[in-house]
Structure 1
Amino acid sequence: MAIPIIDAHLHLDLYEQEEREALLNSLGAFGVKGLVAVSMHLDSCRSLLALKRRTDQPIYPAFGYHPEQALPDASEEEQLFRWIRDHREEMYAIGEVGLPYYARLEAEKAGRGFDLEPYIWLLERFIRLAAELEKPIVLHAVYEDADIACDLLEKHGVERAHFHWFKGSEETLQRMKERGYFISVTPDVVYKEKIRDIVRAYPLSLLMVETDEPWPFQGPYEGVRTHPGMIRDSIREIAAIHNRSEAETGEALWANTVRFYRLQG
C-alpha cells in the first residue's frame, strides 16, 4: 500500500473553481490524505474557510498575509487580525506570513528604495498572534530574512515554526535545526543540487514535503501542471539522500506533518 501524502504547503485559493474541484477530486487516486492550505490575505482566508466548510476533503487551513505584496492599510490589518481570532478554532496555523525577499530584491535591482521595517513589524505581530493562540506559524523567510524571523521567534518563544521552501546558509540551517524548526521541500529537490544539500544537512525528523502549488516547476516537470502527487518523487529523492527506504522516509514525513500541525493522522 502506498505511503499516504500530506502536502504541507499550497495555495488552493489561487485556482479557478473548476480547476480546484478537479484537483480535489483527484487526491484519492494519488494517495493524498491532507492539504495544508495557506492564505494570501483576508479574502483568501475567507475563501479557504468556506471551501473547508463545504467539502469533506482533508483541507487544513492556515490564515495570514503573504509578504510578497503591498502591506495592508491599518483598517485592513485590524480586520484581518480580528477575523483570525474569531476563527481560531477552525484554523491549523498562522500563515503564510514572513518577509518580502523577492519583492525587495526586485526593487533593489531597479534602483528603488525598499523599507523593510514595516514588514518586520507585521511579521512580529503575526508571531505574537501565534504565541497568543498557541498555533504553529508558516513562514516565507529565505536567505538572510530567515535570521530575522529566527530572532523574532526566539524573542516571543514560538517553537512550532515551519519555514516553507527554505533557502539559506549553513549557519542559518544550523540555528534552525538547534531550535527544532521545520522546513519543507518542494519537487525541485529532484533536480536542484542546492536543495538536495539543504536536505542532506537537515534531520529527517524536521522535514516535511510540499508543492506550493499552483507554482510551476522545471526540470522533469517543465510544462507539467503541479500536483500533490509529485511529492512521491520528492520522497524518493529524500530517501536516497538520507540513505533510507522510500517507505521509511514517507512514513517519517507523514508523521512529522501530522505531529507538527496536530492533524488527525
Structure 2
Amino acid sequence: MFVDSHCHLDRIDLAPFDGKLENVIRAAQAAQVKHMLCVGVTLDAFPAMRELVAEFPEVSMSCGMHPLYVAKNPYDPQQLKAMAAAPEVVAIGETGLDYYYDPESHPVQQESFAYHIQLANELDKPLIIHTRDARDDTLAMLREGRAERCGGVLHCFTETYEMAKQAIDDLDFYISISGIVSFRNATELREVVRKLPLEKLLIETDSPWLAPVPHRGKENQPAFVADVARCVAEVKGISVEEVAAVTTENFYQLFQRAAITI
C-alpha cells in the first residue's frame, strides 16, 4: 500500500472523473494508495479545500501559505494560526522559500517562512517545505527556528545531495520524491535518491502537476504515486513492496496526526 504524501486535490480537474472527487479517491485506492495528504497553499482557498475533502477519512490536510503567493496575497498570521490549529490539520505548509521568481518578494517570503516555523513549533505540527534556488537560506532559517522540534519534509525535492543530507542530519527532516525522479533529464536527482536512506524518504505526486513516466502529458493524480514508488525502487535496486512499506511507515512517523483520521 502507498501513501501520496503531497497532493492538491482541490486543484485537480474533476471533469474526467464525472465531476466527483470520490472517483479520484477510488482510482487511487484501485492503485493501492491508502492515504493522501491534501496540501494547502493559500488561506483564501483553505475553507473550500477543507469542505471538499471532509467526507474522506483517507485524506488528511495541511494549512499554510506557499511562498510564491505570499507577496501578492498578504495574510493575517492570526487567521493562519486559527485555521492551522484545527484538529483535522495535520501539518503546517506548504511554506518555504522560492527564489526562482520575483527577487523583490524574498524579504516577504522570509518573514512568512519564519512565522510558519514558529507556528509549527507552537502547534507541534510538522512543516511541509517548498524550496527552490534558496538552499542556504532555507536551511539557515530552519536551523534558526529550531525546526527539528516540530520536524518536517522538503517536498518535491530537486536540490543537491548535500542539502538533503544536512536536512536529515541537522534537522531530522524527511525528503519527499515526486514524479520528477522518472523524467529523462533527472539523472542527478536519481543519483541523490540512490544515496539517500530509504528510512528518510517519502513519495508524492504533487498532483495535478508533474505526472511521472509513463503518464507524462497527462494531469497528475494520487493513483500515479505508485509509479513514483516503482521508479524509486528501480533506482535503489530494491523491491517496490519495500519502498511502499517503508515510505508509508515514514509518513505516519512524521504526520502522526494523520493516523488518527483513518
Q: Structure 1 residues 86 and 171 mapped into 2: Cα distance closer, same or farther (>3 Å)? A: closer
1:243 corresponds, among 214, 237, 245, to: 237
Instruction: Structure 1 unaligned segments of length 5 or more: list them.
Output: 105-112
- Quickly say closer, same or farther: Cα 1:229–1:64, change in 2 above 3 A: same
What is the distance in 2 between the residues matched to 1:248 and 1:25?
23
2:98 corresponding residue in structure 1: 100
What does residue 157 of structure 2 align with? Answer: 166
After superposition, the CA RMSD in angstroms is 2.1
- 1:84 is aligned to 83
CA contact (8 A) 1:7 1:228 kept: yes
Task: Give the equivalent residue in structure 2 for 1:185.
Answer: 177
Amino acid at match of 1:171: E
The 5-angstrom pairing of residues 54-203 of structure 1 reads 55-71=55-71, 76-87=75-86, 89-104=87-102, 114-143=104-133, 145-159=134-148, 160-179=151-170, 180-191=172-183, 192-203=186-197
* Consecutive aligned runs of 4 or more in structure 1 exceeding 4 Å deviation: none
Are 1:69 and 1:100, in contact at CA under 8 Å, matched by a contact in 2? no
Question: TM-score, normalization: structure 1?
Answer: 0.85
1:177, 1:202 within 8 Å by CA — same for their partners in 2? Answer: no
SS of the residue 1:217 aligns to: coil
Please tell me whether the aligned partners of residues 62 and 92 of structure 1 are also in contact (alpha carbons under 8 angstroms). yes
Maintained 8 Å contact 1:6/1:33: yes
Aligned partners of 2:214, 2:27: CA distance in 1, in Å?
Answer: 21
Structure 2: unaligned runs, 5 residues or longer: none
Report if the CA contact (8 A) 2:178-2:205 is conserved.
Answer: yes
CA deviation vs aligned residue, 1:26-78 (integer Å, no higher than 9, x gap)? 2221111111111111122212222333x13411100001112252666x323
2:37–2:60: 8 Å Cα contact kept in structure 1?
yes
SS at match of 1:33: strand
User: Alignment identity in percent?
Assistant: 25
> 250-259 vs 95-104, which deviates more?
95-104
Pairwise CA distance, 1:190:
1.9
- Residue 23 of structure 1, CA deviation: 0.9
Name whichever of 166-175 and 38-47 sits farther off: 166-175
Q: Deviation at 1:90?
A: 1.6
Change (3 A) 1:57 1:25: farther
Distance in 2 (alpha carbons) for counterparts of 1:252 and 1:97: 25
Pair 1:13-2:4 in alignment: no
User: Which secondary structure does the structure 2 equivalent of 1:135 belong to?
Assistant: coil
Tell me the secondary structure at the aligned position of residue 159 of structure 2.
Answer: coil
CA contact (8 A) 1:139 1:161 kept: yes
Deviation digits for residues 7-38 of structure 1, max 9, x if unmatched? 01011121356253431232221111111111
Mapped partners of 1:124, 1:81: distance in 2: 13
Post-superposition Cα deviations, 1:211-262, rounded to whole Å, max 9, x if no partner, equal 0000143753222231222222222222222222221221111111111111
* Secondary structure at the counterpart of residue 92 of structure 2: strand
Count of paired positions: 250
